[in-house]
Amino acid sequence: LGIEGAKAFSAMLLENTTVVSLQLSGNEFDDHAAKYLADAITANSKVEILDLSYNMFGDKAGEILGTTIAENTGLKELKISWNHFHSQGAAALAKGLGGDFQLCIYVTPRANIFLKVLDVSFNGFGNNGAAALGEAPKANNVLEELNISNNRISVEGALCIAAGLKEKKALKRLNITRNPMQSEGCCRVLKALQANSGTGIEILDLPDIPVNKELAELCDAVKILFPNLLLRCGGNMKLQRKSQSKAELPTQPELVGNSQNAV
């Protein structure tokens, strides 16, 4: 659809009060198109589900959409995976969720406290973007699902995500697969869960890495603490089977997607 399509949908959304789900993925929307879409999203509080994945948004669009997210009171699910957001754009997006990060250029008047699902996978957030997302949970206390897989988040960024988990009570699913977090980063995330006894997390997807002794033991400890948690990570099957017997889990690890194993 491109820019002209963005203009057309913007005009429609300014008047439409019945559409609640809008799928606009794969339309070559860029930073210029973001401005038209943002104007409509800000004014329209009826749309609850918005899919803008597989487009061409960059950091400028992140700044525009971050402001939009903050001002919208109806949006509950936002998918913006497979775009070109990096640290600056990530910081601006997180600002809309309530984060307070120094790289954010535009200061939003408030934070979105309604968004429940956010998918920003397959972008380029890096560690700075992870730091911004780590701050976001302090204001948004209703976010239930967060997908930040494949964003070049290393051990440093994992520490920021872990810090955010300590503030998060409503989060039910967290996907951080395909990030170079190493076993150290995974361990810090699990330790953060241990420190948040009030968390309602149900599914945690960790990167597919070899499971060393420390990580295996932490998996066991977290599983005992949260018996209903589906914890998935990959790697050393021998260690996982050993840790499984110690935790006395009733079933064998289930092969899930991309060689990830349910612990």
Q: How far apart are CA 161 and CA 263, in angstroms?
A: 21
Q: How far is CA 82 from CA 101, 147, 151, 231, in A?
A: 23, 12, 10, 25
* pTM of the complete model: 0.81
Q: What is the pLDDT of residue 127?
A: 92
Pure H helices in 198-256 = 213-225, 237-247
Predicted confidence at residue 256, as pLDDT, reads 41
- Residue 154's contacts (CB-CB under 8 Å, 6 or more residues apart) are 127, 179, 180, 181, 182, 185
DSSP 30-58: -HHHHHHHHHHHHH-----EEE--SS---
Q: For the chain, which domains are there?
A: 2-234 (3.80.10.10)
Q: What is the pLDDT of residue 231?
A: 94
Output the six-digit token pair for 85: 């957001």
The rounded distance, in Å, linking the Cα atoms of 156 and 102 is 17
Bridge partner list, 173: 145, 203
Spell out a b/e string for 33-48, using b for 16 or more CB atoms within 10 Å of the CB, else e. Answer: bbbbbbbbbbebeebb
Tokens representing 176 are 């951080």
- pLDDT number for residue 69: 85
pLDDT tens, the chain, 263 aa long: 999 999 999 999 999 989 999 999 999 999 999 999 999 988 898 999 999 999 999 999 999 998 888 888 889 999 999 999 998 888 888 777 764 433 333 333 455 568 899 999 999 999 988 988 887 656 567 889 999 999 999 999 999 999 888 777 789 999 999 999 999 999 999 999 999 888 889 999 999 998 899 999 999 999 999 999 999 986 543 333 334 434 443 444 344 444 444 43
User: Does the CA dihedral 193-196-197-203 come out positive or negative?
Assistant: negative
**Residues 6 or more apart from 177 whose CB is under 8 A from it?**
149, 150, 205, 206, 207, 208, 258, 260
